[in-house]
Structure 1
Amino acid sequence: MRAYLPVACACAALALVGVPAASAVADSGPSVAFTIGDSRIAESSGLAASRLHPGVYWTHNDSGDGPYVFAIDSRTGKTLAKVTMRGIHARDCEAISLGPDGDLYVGDIGDNLNGAWPEVWIYRFPEPRQLHDQTVDVTRFTVRYQNGPRDAEALMVHPRTGRVYIASKNDNGGHLYAGPTTLSAKGVNVFRPIADVPWVTDGAFSPDGSRLVLRGYFWATDYRWVNGSPQKIGSLDVPVQPQGESVTYTTDGRALMYGSEGHESKVWRAPLSGADLPDNVAPASDAKSGGHNGKGGATESTTKDTKTTKGSKVAGVALVVGIGLLGIWVRNAARRRRRQND
């Protein structure tokens, strides 16, 4: 949710030197799937595809909003339901994920004070079978990190095992944390680091559990999930967004959906191909090789695609995001000051 001033200044500087705007749309792969039309959703920070309701996506605001989750119709962009979590004082909800039990998991895991809160929380409730405004009872889980407080925005529930993972962030990158095999509503759930990951704003498992994707503002990386740990495949093309906060797979696993903060924010659909596809829909050769050349590196085509798209990503971000991120940083700095005064 929080943008850094150095990033904003760097982007603004690139824009001022005249990077061509045409390169921002050089790749026509990703396209806008729908626009969130609800004025109450100004800081969409998580995204999860419904299993019960085809074409519906769950989202929520981050800090400053109440304990609310919204069901959005991807065909119209309209809100079909506002779900209120009973008895919850939401502090900074940053992520949402759907577990194999059919429950939604909401991660109240953000920390604008750079790791000042010793505990964060996860809220769980069954995905509503009927879409209308309602209040639901939730199970609340207390979370601590083994190596001390962390700021985080990504929470992922594995669709086969039900294990919950959190990706933390800081200026130099973060860690992927694994929760206990089963969360307990009594006592504290200790999350332990299992891998280093980049600075991320969200993440998601593929529906079959064979892939993990982590995204930041300007990039995304996908991983093959093997025996409870990530193995990097490569970089993914990310659409240019004002403040890219969320990502999830479509229910068929063939595309990624990217969300952003902002009023009337657009959710983009980016088709997947080759080794980036989950195992249950990937071509047999890619599923076996993992999209690698057998020497531990990416295939030649993947490397070329990465180089080709890198310039367009930087240019698009510089032109569209630079000044916007500066404003976001100022807004969030003021928010942190208010929290410290409270």
Structure 2
Amino acid sequence: MGDVVIRMLAVVTAICCLSAVPAYAADDGTEKLFTFRDPAITESSGLAVSPTHDGVFYTHNDSAAAPTFYAVDGRGRTKATFQVQGAQARDWEAMAATKDPETGRGVLWFADIGDNLDGAWPDISVYRVMEPQTLRSASLPATRYRFRYADGARNAEGLMINPRTGRLYVVSKEFAGSVYAAPKKLRTGRTNILRKVASAPLMATDAAYAPDGSSYVIRTYFSATLYRPSGETIAKVTMPELEQAESIAYTSDGTALLVGSEGPRSPVYRVPLPERATPTPTPTPEGAQEKAPDESPDEVAAGAGASGLTIKDVLIWLAAAATAVGVITFLARRTR
């Protein structure tokens, strides 16, 4: 029982810290875009904008579901339901959408990366599916890539892909969260190693890259933080109040964020990015727009604002931790 209490208090502590982090208020244009109408969409955990079909969005359910995803229109109506052939769905937590630079076809990525037991799975998987050219329900083939963290198993809920380089990233959901980079070339014949390249906010629930590759966003239950590809913090943006904030994606023009929640008939909101938070892309030499995955974590974290935390954030965290320790001590004495 003691272990359960400690884990529950740890979560409470994380939430207290997250809610105390100051964030920029979003512009007045925040609006509910649509509500998922399909009764089969009960735990929308991943969200992505179609790279080739205008006004189409993709989502999938969380754990204990089949390897299924849905194409939805701007009114929340399901246009097609797709099964991913040969895929497992232990705990699908995120998805991303890109465009194949050679063919121009859309590519969808589904991340089976959840691990609530922090080490239950020896490896995790990401499935690559070519976006259907016709929005009719079907079964689609997938390419499976297996991954393992260089520094040990962990829980994760964020997946993003840099459209400039094609590199895949996983964002862990922890007190000391991290961004992990996959190798430049993914291989199906062996396990790909994920290496830490930057820090992430506490308890991150999703992540996404901007369509032009000039920034990426990591969201938590209460806010979202925008970063440059180097890991430097650009700004924080407040999020709409949601029952269980899970998903985030950029709009196709990169001027706003789309955020979703789990639960039946859950809403999707459009949150405009403040002008001051919109990065201005600058030309960079080939290969210089992001940190190399083999750099040490210390080198990456040395960049300005890599973790997105301030001294005030740290003090709040310490205060919350001290409170949690006091509660744990009290409960321990009462249950002896």
> TM-score category by the smaller chain?
0.7 to 0.9
Contact kept? 1:222, 1:232, Cα under 8 Å: yes
Contact kept? 1:66, 1:90, Cα under 8 Å: yes
The answer to whether 1:111 aligns with 2:112 is: no
Match of 2:296 in 1: none
Q: Which ranges in structure 2 are unaligned for 5 or more consecutive residues?
A: 1-6, 17-24, 101-105, 283-303, 311-336
Q: Report the 3-state secondary structure (helix = DSSP H, G, I; strand = E; otherwise coil) of the residue aligned with 1:208.
A: coil
Match of 1:338 in 2: none
Cα 1:145–1:9, aligned 2, differ >3 Å: closer, same or farther?
Answer: closer
- The percent identity for this pair of structures is 45
Match of 1:37 in 2: 37
Paired AA for residue 110 in structure 2: V
Query: Per-residue displacement from partner, 1:54-73 (whole Å, max 9, x unpaired)?
Result: 11111100101100011110
Cα 1:7–1:270, aligned 2, differ >3 Å: closer, same or farther?
Answer: farther
Match of 1:143 in 2: 147
**Cα distance in 2 for residues equivalent to 1:49 and 1:100:** 11
Higher helix share: 1
Determine which of 171, 179, 182 is the counterpart of 1:167.
171
**Cα distance in 1 for residues equivalent to 2:26 and 2:200:** 28
Report deviation, 1:115. 2.4
**Cα distance in 1 for residues equivalent to 2:56 and 2:26:** 29
Match of 1:233 in 2: 234
The answer to whether 1:195 aligns with 2:194 is: no
Q: Which ranges in structure 1 are unaligned for 5 or more consecutive residues?
A: 14-24, 282-295, 298-302, 304-342
Contact kept? 1:153, 1:167, Cα under 8 Å: yes
Contact kept? 1:60, 1:70, Cα under 8 Å: yes
TM-score, structure 2 as length reference: 0.74
The answer to whether 1:205 aligns with 2:209 is: yes
Supply the RMSD in Å over aligned alpha carbons: 2.4
Query: Per-residue displacement from partner, 1:195-236 (whole Å, max 9, x unpaired)?
Result: 1111200000100001110001111100011xxx31111211
Query: Per-residue displacement from partner, 1:270-309 (whole Å, max 9, x unpaired)?
Result: 011323225369xxxxxxxxxxxxxx79xxxxx9xxxxxx
- Alignment size in residue pairs: 265
Match of 1:99 in 2: 98
Paired AA for residue 253 in structure 2: D
Cα 1:177–1:9, aligned 2, differ >3 Å: closer, same or farther?
Answer: closer
The answer to whether 1:268 aligns with 2:266 is: no
Match of 2:222 in 1: 218
Report deviation, 1:112. 1.7
Paired AA for residue 36 in structure 1: F
Q: Report the 3-state secondary structure (helix = DSSP H, G, I; strand = E; otherwise coil) of the residue aligned with 1:230.
A: coil
Paired AA for residue 193 in structure 2: V
Report deviation, 1:157. 0.9
Paired AA for residue 39 in structure 2: S
Q: Which runs of 4+ in 1 moved over 6 A?
A: 7-13
**Cα distance in 1 for residues equivalent to 2:137 and 2:227:** 37
Match of 2:131 in 1: 127
